[in-house]
Amino acid sequence: MVATLRSGNRLVLVAPTGSGKTTQVPQMLLDGGHAKDKRIVVLQPRRVAARTVAARVAWERGCKPGEEVGYQIRFDDRTSLGTRVCYVTEGILLRWLQDDGTLADVGVVLFDEFHERNLLSDVAQALVKQLQQTRRPDLRMAVMSATLEAEPVAEYLGGIPSTPSTTRPTENGRAGSEPGPPGACPILISEGQSFPVDVRFLDRKDERPVTEQAADAVERIVNAGEPGDILVFMPGMAEINSTLGALRAARLKTCRPKTRTWPFYRTRCEKSWWRRTWRKRR
């Protein structure tokens, strides 16, 4: 992707969920010098995603939101003069285009999760394309998604290469690709990488509340000394808190006293996540 955007200014990327489109691609482009002294703007369809992803990438870069990495959504601007990667919603980008028709301080625009397209994202993409064709040929744009039908988008952006580029592992650990012809909008398809999953079922039907069963499962994993963290998925806030209560009451005290438990749900995910990760970093 870095090489493709170095030789052209448009790209369609199709990569599976968890491949790093949202968090790693902006950093690769920033480190590759694509933005030069300008910003890399990443469009997110949801405000909560813009905030939490910006916090994650800021943590990876060793800064706080609003420094090298920031976000701007309605009524919440966490950016500064030093911000190089900025996560925004479509409405914010459209407002920028109205205020400054050239996006003078933007070097790259990434349309993330484009399969969730709506009127605002379509208008924003059309305006950025028009800006490239008229006043900003140096402006780069990439459309990214896990489930996007790439061909119509690439056709709209400049034509489809004869063979879509594909990425796959190589001997040196990097992805190889086949570039498309000049003037076309390359389609880069990441095949992803799968990992083995160990699925374990209960031996018999358990009539106890699911929160009690989840607490037992966590207890077994901790007592077995298996490394890593544990994610327990529950249907709602009440079940999350009930499971935490069961764990904190007595179970983990008899296993590993240093084991820590945290609730993680939408209404408090950003504050809770940022407190944990920043404390670990310090």
Token duo for residue 219: 């207890």
- Residues ≥6 apart with Cβ < 8 Å to 171: none
In total, the chain counts a number of residues equal to: 282
Could you say which of 3.40.50.300, 3.30.1330.10, 3.40.50.1580, 3.40.190.170 is the CATH number of the domain covering 2-190? 3.40.50.300
Name the nearest CA neighbour of 94 among 136, 52, 126, 139: 126
Q: Look at residue 109 in the predicted model and tell me its pLDDT.
A: 94
Q: What is the DSSP letter of 252?
A: G
Name the nearest CA neighbour of 11 among 114, 119, 141: 141
pLDDT per residue, tens digit, the chain (282 aa), is 888 888 888 899 888 888 888 999 999 999 988 888 899 999 998 888 899 999 999 999 999 999 999 999 998 899 999 999 999 998 999 999 988 889 999 999 999 988 888 898 889 999 999 998 898 999 999 999 888 788 888 888 887 765 555 554 444 434 444 455 556 788 888 877 777 888 888 777 888 888 888 888 888 888 888 788 889 999 888 999 999 888 887 565 555 666 778 888 765 555 555 555 555 554
Domain boundaries for CATH 3.40.50.300 within the chain: 2-190
Name the nearest CA neighbour of 230 among 250, 216, 242: 216
Report the distance separating Cα 37 and Cα 22, nearest Å: 21
